[in-house]
Every structure is written in structure tokens, then in C-alpha cells.
Structure 1
Amino acid sequence: MTSTEVPLPPSGSYVKSIRESSHAARVAAGIQIDTEAIKRLLLSPAFTTTFYRVSHNHGLAFPLNFPSPLAELNFLSVLSLLNFGSGYRALLHAHTGRGAWDSIRAFVFSIYLGDAELLSAKGMQGVEEGKVAELMGVRVHVERPHESIPGVTVGELGGPGYELVSIVAETMRSTGDALVGAGYPDLGTFVVEALKEGERAGKATGQAVDVEVVLERLVKAIPGFRDMTVVDGRPIYCFKKALFLISGVYIRFHKLASAPFPIPHTQDLPICADNVIPSLLAYLGVLDLSRATAHGLASVFPAPPVSIESLLDQYHPQSSDQDEDKAERKGPPEEGPVLTVEQAFLLRAAAIEACEVIVQVARGLRLDGEDAGWVAGGEEELAWVKGISLLDVDTWLWAVAKDRGDYRALGRFALRGTCFF
């Protein structure tokens, strides 16, 4: 079922619908959340020795000189819109030497530096596949045998590279159509209006910005933000890219002395569910799929090449040479299982709720009692764990998956043909 056939949540309940639909989908699929595994994770060396360093690696530091905060916001908005392609991770490594996120970042950087008009509404409206392929550095031709001449091959448009380029171009065009039709010069200007609308609504509820209003405005207006589907008659709402954009506004601009647009508080928004976070949570034992018989989820992930105990330990590279370890972490990724839409959305839904439970468990830890027995250390040393936020958990899980060589070796699930993650 396409997102255009899925009913939008009731107005005013988009955030609530993410949480409620995720819970309902997880329970119906038989996916369990293991709270003991969460305690082990939170108090493990893997978490406690990397949290402060890794949880700020959000990938939103831009080495660019923007003429204004609005120009940077428009750049961030387009980057968030195009923050997908995880199903083509192996292909992108082969073509560009980068993963999905780094490839999309490089693509938007190339637009900004070489053809900034493509970041406008009209520019996006008229973008063509050839231009996207050129700027992304992705090959879009496949070779096949000639129909009548033996031994001769011909090239034609096709293959996974062309599929990804086509999705990127169509996402940009549909966004440009929506913006031009509503009279906006670019996506950033539209986001500013959504933030101001959220600010007006927030005055009635005591919030600086009502993120509920902002999220609803983004999803309703831009097709590329309608990250939702129906599985077994139940809607699942993830809205990963819209949540990423709202969180990105906070990350990039909340420290400005005088921001030219309202800044939302996003510490406790639902996570931005992609393929990385649910995959890692499954390998770490937080998501238990052993009884998830629906849609074949119980057999989705192969047994990891190392034990959970090893994954929870502090990472010790096989080589003491840091350059070799860096090369190991940047090597070609393992191709993970390719899933159906239903499988991918169920796992993402489970990850959304699991991260909520991680924060709840963290806040309830008894660091002066039995919980602290998982690791050496006591209440003073680990008290900070009780104060982690959903944004912290989201960023740490996503970033640590890139940080450790053994985590990078774990196959992440893939879904192709989607513009949502």
C-alpha cells in the first residue's frame, strides 16, 4: 500500500499516532522488548565509555559558508527531505566510496556549491535524472547482450543505481510541485512558516514551539515526508525524515543568540526510525524477534559473528594501529537482509517503542542497588545515565553503529524502492 492510500493521523495527534501505532504494530507482530537487555546495554562499557563522544555525532556540522540562517535552514531542509537510500548502501559504497547518508550529504553539498538553483522550489520542480546521477556520481546504465549480435553488449538505463537516482529526482520534483503550487520560493521558507505556526500554537500550551503543529504541517504538505503504511489492517506512522528535520533545526540553531525563526524543543520526540537502529537493537538483544512469527520476522537476522557480550564490551580493535582500524571501519559493508515493506515498517515501529522503553528504564535504574551490579561503578559514576533523552538514544545508536568496526560488520536490513529511509 502506498503512502497516498494510508489515512493521515487525526489533526493534532501526529506525535501520539507515531507512538500508538508503533506499539500496536509491535505487539501484533509478536516482537518483544527485553528490559533486562536494556539494563545490560545502558550499564555496559559499550554504552558508558562512548556515550559522551558518540551521542553528538549527528552528522549535521556543515563545512559551508551560508549567507544567512535561512539559507542554512533551506539546505538542512532539503538534506532532511533526501535523507534516504539505505537500501542502496552497498551499491553507493561501490560507486562513491560512501554510505547512504554520506552520499546524500555529498550530493546536497554538490548542489549548493555548483548549482544552488536546484535548492529552490522551481529548481527542484524541474530536476532531471541525468543531473542527479552526475552530482551523485552514481552509474545508471546496465549492460545486456545484444539481441542479434553474439558477443556484443549494449548499455541501457536501468539497475539499482538508476532506481535510486529516479527516486531522488521524483522526491525533489514532487516537493517542488507542492512548494510552487503553494507559493513558496523554497523548502526552508515553508519550514519557517511551519515553525512560526507552531510558535503561535505553543503560546496556548506553554511551549516555545508546538512540535505537533510543525510535524503535521510538514507531513500534510510534502509527499516525501509521508512516511507511513498499513500492515495487516493497522496503520504505522514513522515520519522519520520530518522528525529528523525538526530535530535538526534544534541541533543547528538552538545555540544562536538570536535566531530569526522559532526553535523547537526536540529532546523527547520519537526517534527517527531507519534501518540502522532496529537492526542494532536486534543484535544487542533489546528487540527479541524469536516469537515474531508474523511476516517471517523471527528469521530475518542471521546470528551475529560475535557474542552479545562482546558487542557490549568496550571496543578493542584487532590492530593497535589506528589507521588500520579506520580502514576497517570504512571498508565495504556487509549486505544485510533485503526485507519487504511490511517487515521493514514492523521493525522500525518496534525500534520506536524500544527507544521509549530505553529512556524509561534509564530513568528508573537503581544505581545504588542491584542494577549497578551489572558493571563496576556506582551511583555517582553512572548517575548521568538516568538523564538521557530520546534524542540522545537516537543519535548514540545511529552513530555508534558507524563508530565500531564490529558494529559495522553487522548486516543492516535493507528496503529498496523507498524515499523514507
Structure 2
Amino acid sequence: MPGSPNVLDLVHRSCTDVAAAHAEHVKIDDAAVSALAAELLQEREDVRAAVRGLPLPIKFSSLEQELTLLALYHLLDFGSGYDPLLTKTSGGRDARETLLFGLIGLHLGGTRMDHHKLKSFTMYDLYTTFNIEATQEVAVMPGVTMTKPGPLQPHAKALLTAINESGAALEEAGAKSPGELLLSLAEGLKKAGRTTAGAFVEELIDSLPGFRDSVLYDGRTLTLHRRAQNLAADLAIVYGGRDDRFAFSDVDQLAADSGATTIAVLRAKGVLQLSEELASTIDEGSELPAGPHERALRAAAVAACDRVVAAAAAQAAGSAEAAGPAAAAAGEEGEESGAAAGAGAAAAGAAAEAGKEGAGTGAGSTGPAPFRAVDVGAFLAFLTEEGRPLHGKITRHVTRDVTGY
């Protein structure tokens, strides 16, 4: 809201503070940050293109319908801690794949996901849509079984609560669907001259509480709002070019994804160094309870990606400064070194262009950066996809009963 602290500033600031307070167990390695920044600079075009929205091979009858599916995907994008269980019971799909498969099925089946449907969504609907079985049959004596809660019941209940409560919130807001709400929020912000990702995230978490993602850490509030920020990034980068209501001017202020995949990749890259106890818990596949260690991991992921962006900006600027004098000196040496001079000028131009492409995150960056924190988070996830360098080579931590990721 106008006059209140910018929610994105709160995200970066609180994550930096918590990461510093928990450095004994989760440390950010500056040398690895610099190395990752240099690596990503070599892939800067792919990094900038990493935010792709939902790769849906289907057609929509309206923008509202398309945004409804996008909003529901991000709203329900949690439960990664249940991936080991889901892959055994949901056709080999993890939480995200299960979610996407179900939403596509709803769309192709002609189900209108308005507030009436969301409010009345049942556990049976959840099972038929997402193939998530909340109960299991347990033998109590020969030939006799009893239905009892299954290991996926907490996840199923969390999904159902998010769906039902969002339906009620939409009705209260006077919006017939999630897509209509997004369009209404964006239109209102445009009229108020506040077409920013920060303002959009604030309005979204106020209108749909299911998107809220802030927790207590040692007496302070750790602000994350991962799913709301990811939705804002998709809207800006995928739709902003053709709809100025989503042309947010501060996409560079959005934080990197703070989910388990980002954390695992940063750890694989040596950026996050964990205490022996915490590393052992994760590597053994044991459940990491929601609490200080788990929250510190999320905070450190955001803070580390901010540092990567700042380091990349510094390296790009340094390359430009070094290339300029080198090119001039090469030019003075005469015709024999003309090729070297041309190469130096080209390098300087490339570095300068990289500096113009984006701004840093507001978490310590002092100049323009070749890419943004939200790009870094998306690219790190991209590296784990099938056929990519880190596919099957990272270990995600397992935390259940949280709706942040």
C-alpha cells in the first residue's frame, strides 16, 4: 500500500539478516559466488531467457482463462517435500508435475475454475484431478480393511484449504475467477501509476491470503512471498511485452526462487556451505523439520542469488574498464595488431551492453547487472531439467507441511 515499506525491500533485507544470523549452519561462500557469477556471465543470454512462464501446449479462449490457470499453478506450487511419496503414487510425477498435469486436465475437460467451483472443491475432486490419494486401506484382520489417513493426507488437506479459501476470497473481492482478479489488480495499479512488481505482490497477498509466505525467525519476520513473486515475474516477462498492465518497471527487484531446487543447486555449486549436522540430514534424505535451519536455507538462497547478481555486475563492469584501455593501446601499435584492437573493442562493447541490460537487486548491487535475481533462480532450476548438467545430481532437502515451496 502507498506509504508502507516496499514488500520486495523487506524480502531482500530480511533474507540478508537471517542468512547472517544463521551463518554458523548455512554459510554463503564468496569465492563460489564469484565463480558462479562468472559461469553465468558466459551463459547470460540463456540466463535472461530462463523465466518462461508455463510451457502449455494448449489454447485458451481468453487472457482471463489463461491467467486463471497461471494463478492457480503458482498458488498451489508447494509440497516439494512430498516429492519422494508422490513419485511413487502419482504416476512418477513430483509435486509440480502432478499440479500441472491436473490443471491441464481441468482446462481440457472444460471445467470453469470460478470462485463457485473453488469454494466447493472437495477431497474427491482433488483425487480425481491430481491423483493424490489422501487415505489408504489398512488390513485390520484377515479379509477386513479400514480406511485410514495416508501419508499424503497433510499435503492434500493443504491444497484443498488453499483452493477453498481462495474461492471465498475471490467471492469477497467480487472477482469471478483468479484470472479476473489478476487483471483487475493490474488495471487498478496502472490507473494509480503504480505498475510495479512490488505493488502487484502487495495487492496479491492482500487479496489472496494463500499467496502469503512470511514466517518468524528468532523473534523477527522472514519475508519471502516466493509464489507471489514468481507469478509477478511470469506476468511481467511473458505478458508485459504485449500488455502494459503487466509491464512492471522493477522486475530487477524480484527475488530469486527460494525453494528446495534453488537451495540444492547453490549447494552443488559450493555457494551454500552447510554445517556437518545439517548436510548429513539432507544427504541422508531425512526430513528437515520446518524451523530455523529450513528457514535459514531459504533466506540464504535469496541472499546468495543477490550476491551473484552483484558479482556479475562488478565483473561485467571490470571487463568493460579493462577492455577499453587494452583496445586503445592495441590500436597505437599499428596495423600489425589491428585484429587485437578489434577484439578488445568488441569485448568492451559486449561488457557495456551487458551492463545496460538490467539493474541489480537492491541488495547491495551498485550498478547495472547483466541479469536479475529472478533470472538466476529460474536458470538454476533449468540446469536440473532432463538433459541438463545437474539433472539427477542434486539433493533437495525434504520439509513437509509448509506451503512456501
TM-score in same-fold range (> 0.5)? yes
Relative to 1, partners in 2 of residues 1:33 and 1:369: Cα closer, same or farther, differing over 3 Å?
farther
Relative to 1, partners in 2 of residues 1:82 and 1:369: Cα closer, same or farther, differing over 3 Å?
same
Query: Which of 249, 268, 292 is the matching residue for 2:253?
Result: 268
Report the Cα distance in structure 1 between the residues aligned to 2:285 and 2:52, rounded to whole angstroms.
Answer: 23
Say how many residue pairs are matched: 360
Report the Cα distance in structure 1 between the residues aligned to 2:234 and 2:57, rounded to whole angstroms.
Answer: 16
Report the Cα distance in structure 1 between the residues aligned to 2:384 and 2:286, rounded to whole angstroms.
Answer: 17
Which residue is 1:389 aligned to? 372
Does residue 81 (structure 1) correspond to residue 75 (structure 2)? The answer is: yes
Which residue is 2:294 aligned to? 344
Conserved? CA contact 2:47–2:371, under 8 Å: no
Report the Cα distance in structure 2 between the residues aligned to 1:111 and 1:236, rounded to whole angstroms.
Answer: 35
Cα deviations by residue, 1:316-337 (Å, 9 ceiling, x for unpaired): xxxxxxxxxxxxxxxxxxx844
Relative to 1, partners in 2 of residues 1:253 and 1:49: Cα closer, same or farther, differing over 3 Å?
closer
- State the 1:220 CA deviation: 1.7
* Paired residues for 1:284-295 under 5 Å: 284-290=269-275
Conserved? CA contact 2:28–2:304, under 8 Å: yes
Relative to 1, partners in 2 of residues 1:53 and 1:358: Cα closer, same or farther, differing over 3 Å?
closer
Report the Cα distance in structure 2 between the residues aligned to 1:274 and 1:369, rounded to whole angstroms.
Answer: 36
Does residue 100 (structure 1) correspond to residue 95 (structure 2)? The answer is: yes
Query: Which of 355, 360, 371 is the matching residue for 2:305?
Result: 355
Cα deviations by residue, 1:210-246 (Å, 9 ceiling, x for unpaired): 2222111111222211111102111111101111111
Query: Which of 260, 265, 268 is the matching residue for 1:280?
Result: 265
Report the Cα distance in structure 2 between the residues aligned to 1:359 and 1:353, rounded to whole angstroms.
Answer: 10
> Of the two, which has the highest radius of gyration?
2
Q: How does the TM-score come out when normalised to structure 1?
A: 0.77
Does residue 419 (structure 1) correspond to residue 398 (structure 2)? The answer is: no
* SS, match of residue 152 in structure 2: helix
Relative to 1, partners in 2 of residues 1:153 and 1:356: Cα closer, same or farther, differing over 3 Å?
farther
* SS, match of residue 43 in structure 1: helix
Conserved? CA contact 2:256–2:374, under 8 Å: yes
Conserved? CA contact 1:32–1:288, under 8 Å: yes
Query: Which of 175, 179, 194 is the matching residue for 1:184?
Result: 175
Which residue is 2:162 aligned to? 171
Cα deviations by residue, 1:227-270 (Å, 9 ceiling, x for unpaired): 111021111111011111111112331232xx384432424311
Which residue is 1:154 aligned to? 145
* SS, match of residue 396 in structure 2: coil
* Paired residues for 1:372-383 under 5 Å: 380=347, 383=351
Query: Which of 242, 246, 249 is the matching residue for 2:232?
Result: 246
- State the 1:352 CA deviation: 0.7
Does residue 114 (structure 1) correspond to residue 109 (structure 2)? The answer is: yes
- State the 1:99 CA deviation: 2.0
Conserved? CA contact 2:11–2:255, under 8 Å: yes
Cα deviations by residue, 1:383-403 (Å, 9 ceiling, x for unpaired): 459512222201101111224
Report the Cα distance in structure 1 between the residues aligned to 2:215 and 2:58, rounded to whole angstroms.
Answer: 36
Report the Cα distance in structure 2 between the residues aligned to 1:115 and 1:12, rounded to whole angstroms.
Answer: 42
Does residue 131 (structure 1) correspond to residue 80 (structure 2)? The answer is: no
Report the Cα distance in structure 2 between the residues aligned to 1:59 and 1:126, rounded to whole angstroms.
Answer: 28
* SS, match of residue 84 in structure 1: coil
Conserved? CA contact 1:228–1:239, under 8 Å: yes
* SS, match of residue 136 in structure 2: strand
Q: How does the TM-score come out when normalised to structure 2?
A: 0.80
- State the 1:183 CA deviation: 1.7
Letter in 2 for 1:238: L
Does residue 211 (structure 1) correspond to residue 197 (structure 2)? The answer is: yes
Which residue is 1:142 aligned to? 136
- State the 1:81 CA deviation: 0.7
Conserved? CA contact 1:55–1:393, under 8 Å: no
* SS, match of residue 137 in structure 2: strand
Does residue 410 (structure 1) correspond to residue 394 (structure 2)? The answer is: yes
- State the 1:37 CA deviation: 0.5
Letter in 2 for 1:70: E
Relative to 1, partners in 2 of residues 1:201 and 1:163: Cα closer, same or farther, differing over 3 Å?
same
Does residue 15 (structure 1) correspond to residue 1 (structure 2)? The answer is: no
Report the Cα distance in structure 2 between the residues aligned to 1:143 and 1:54, rounded to whole angstroms.
Answer: 49
Relative to 1, partners in 2 of residues 1:170 and 1:337: Cα closer, same or farther, differing over 3 Å?
same
Report the Cα distance in structure 2 between the residues aligned to 1:345 and 1:55, rounded to whole angstroms.
Answer: 29
Which residue is 2:340 aligned to? none
Conserved? CA contact 1:197–1:214, under 8 Å: no
Give ranges in structure 2 of 5+ residues lacking alignment. 323-342, 356-368
Which residue is 1:309 aligned to? none
Report the Cα distance in structure 1 between the residues aligned to 2:108 and 2:41, rounded to whole angstroms.
Answer: 38
Report the Cα distance in structure 1 between the residues aligned to 2:288 and 2:393, rounded to whole angstroms.
Answer: 18
Conserved? CA contact 1:142–1:158, under 8 Å: yes
Letter in 2 for 1:275: A
Conserved? CA contact 1:143–1:155, under 8 Å: yes
Cα deviations by residue, 1:62-97 (Å, 9 ceiling, x for unpaired): 212111112211221111111112111122222222
Which residue is 1:326 aligned to? none
Report the Cα distance in structure 2 between the residues aligned to 1:55 and 1:155, rounded to whole angstroms.
Answer: 51
- State the 1:107 CA deviation: 1.2
